[in-house]
Amino acid sequence: MSKKILITGGTGYIGSHTAVELIQKNYEVFLVDNFSNSHSSVLQGIKRITQIEPHFTKLELTDKQAVAEYFADHHDLDAVIHFAALKAVGESVEKPLLYYQNNLISLLHLLENMIEYQIPYLVFSSSCTVYGEPDKLPIKETAPIKPALSPYGNTKQISEEIIVDLTKAEDNFSAILLRYFNPIGAHPSGLIGELPIGIPNNLVPYITQTAAGIRDVLRIFGDDYDTPDGTCIRDYIHVVDLAKAHIAALERLINAENESNCEVFNIGTGRGHSVLEIVHTFEKVNHIKLNYIIDDRREGDVEKVWADNTKAQKILQWKPQFTIEDALRDAWQWEKNYRGIKT
């Protein structure tokens, strides 16, 4: 019998790619989403890639009653991968209550029901944002957690603490927290990818929308940082590699290989790239000239971060397979497919 896995935020960017990888490994996948930052057409993309239609329920995780009803109908789930959350840093500064309400209440509802129905395994979507401006690079999982730079970042820190506390209290509940660096790219089929609603906040969707002519110009936020070319450095990880890290984490829990009830892993490539490197690599691999300008720094941006991923490599036996070139090619392929651009 294949294991039944619930993916919250299942039609979102990382959730949909994880659904594909799970289906391809013969898991039975149950997706829930409220479509606040995704689209039902993603379900068709997943089906076209895998030939399997995932179970889907439109669900608002902040609705206690609705979540209780969902779990009453799906009490035989084996594990949960929890992606559903709001994630725009700037918006979280303007609407902190929305972020605390949405990200924390959803998590509490989910956990209450996992305990109620004895669903023992959780993989949680955390972020390198918990490290703030790092003292040492690359960042290890043991690096200190700094005061959060935004309400969004704070929701990730508090969520981690809630999960840690629960794993201490409940012997039969274990979790893996994955701290992602910057996910980019799209499924190599071009059938699913990142689909931000409105103006993108993140670099790569802004680049692909500029290349597609939807945005006039890419603004590079600052070129006077203490980095080789003056622009910020991030660790950009292909979304399919990131999705596969979730499978590795899930299987570690299911096979009871975890050494403690709550483990944490950095999921990044271990390499940093500057904003200008990303722009120029995008231009090179896709044979496109991007319209960009250098603008002021964006408030709250960390100068440079990249992961030490040796723990994930050793313990999860996970290793990124895609290059930055692959990721930027796949991102553009997806944007072109989605917009019907022929080149």
Interacting residues toward ligand UFG by CB under 6 A: 87, 89, 127-129, 153, 182, 201-203, 206, 218-221, 232, 234, 275, 298, 301-302
Q: Which residue, 115 or 290, has its beta carbon nearer to ligand UFG?
A: 290
Q: Which residue, 47 or 219, has its beta carbon nearer to ligand UFG?
A: 219
- In order of 141, 243, 261, 319, the CA distances from 310 in angstroms are 10, 18, 20, 9
Q: Which residue, 68 or 302, has its beta carbon nearer to ligand UFG?
A: 302
CB of 16: closest distance to ligand UFG in angstroms? Answer: 17
CB of 203: closest distance to ligand UFG in angstroms? Answer: 4
CB of 130: closest distance to ligand UFG in angstroms? Answer: 9
Question: Distance between CA atoms of 193 and 240, rounded to whole angstroms?
Answer: 10
Q: Check 70, 121, 152, 338 and give the catalytic one.
A: 152
Q: Which residue, 89 or 163, has its beta carbon nearer to ligand UFG?
A: 89
Residue 37 near residue 8 (C-beta atoms within 8 A): no
> Would you call 225 a catalytic residue per the annotation?
no
Residue 246 near residue 123 (C-beta atoms within 8 A): yes
Nearest residue to ligand UFG by CB is 232
CB of 79: closest distance to ligand UFG in angstroms? Answer: 24
- Range list of H helices, the chain: 13-24, 41-50, 64-73, 89-94, 96-99, 105-116, 151-169, 203-211, 239-254, 275-286, 310-315, 324-339
User: Which residues, 6 or more positions from 215, have their beta carbon under 8 angstroms from its beta carbon?
Assistant: 199, 206, 209
Question: Distance between CA atoms of 131 and 143, rounded to whole angstroms?
Answer: 7
Backbone region of residue 70 per phi and psi (left: phi > 0; alpha: psi in -120 to 50; beta: other values) = alpha
Q: Which residue, 115 or 302, has its beta carbon nearer to ligand UFG?
A: 302
Question: Which residues lie across from 32 on neighbouring strands?
Answer: 8, 57
CB of 224: closest distance to ligand UFG in angstroms? Answer: 12
Catalytic sites, residue numbers: 152
